[in-house]
Structure 1
Amino acid sequence: MKKTITVVMVLGLFGCAATDSELAKEGNWYQIGYQDGMVGHSQRSYKILSELGDVQESDYENGYSQGIAEYCNPNVAYQIGVNGQYYEGVCEGTDQAQRFRMEWQRGWNEYNN
Structure 2
Amino acid sequence: MKSLNLGILVISAAMLIGCASSETDLIAKGDWNAIGYRDGVKGSLPRTYSRLKELGEANIGAYEQGYSRGVAEYCNPNFAYQMGLTGHYYEGACEGREDAQKFRMEWQRGWNERN
| TM superposition outliers: structure 1 runs of 4+ over 3 Å | none
The corresponding residue for 1:57 is: 60
1:12–1:90 distance in 2 versus 1, CA, 3 Å: closer
Structure 1 runs not aligned, ≥5 long? none
Deviation of 1:23 (Å) = 0.3
The corresponding residue for 1:24 is: 27
Measured against aligned partners, the alpha-carbon deviations of 1:3-43 in whole angstroms (never above 9, x if no partner) come to 42541342241353211121011010000000000010000
Identify, as 1 or 2, the structure richer in helix. 2
The corresponding residue for 1:88 is: 91
Matched, 1:72 2:104: no
Specify the SS of the correspondent of 1:86: coil
User: Structure 1-normalised TM-score?
Assistant: 0.91
Q: Distance in 2 between matches of 1:14 and 1:90?
A: 18
Contact 1:73 1:100 in 2 (8 A): yes
Specify the SS of the correspondent of 1:70: helix
| Identity score, percent | 54
Measured against aligned partners, the alpha-carbon deviations of 1:43-72 in whole angstroms (never above 9, x if no partner) come to 001111112110000000000000010000
User: Structure 2-normalised TM-score?
Assistant: 0.89
Structure 2 runs not aligned, ≥5 long? none
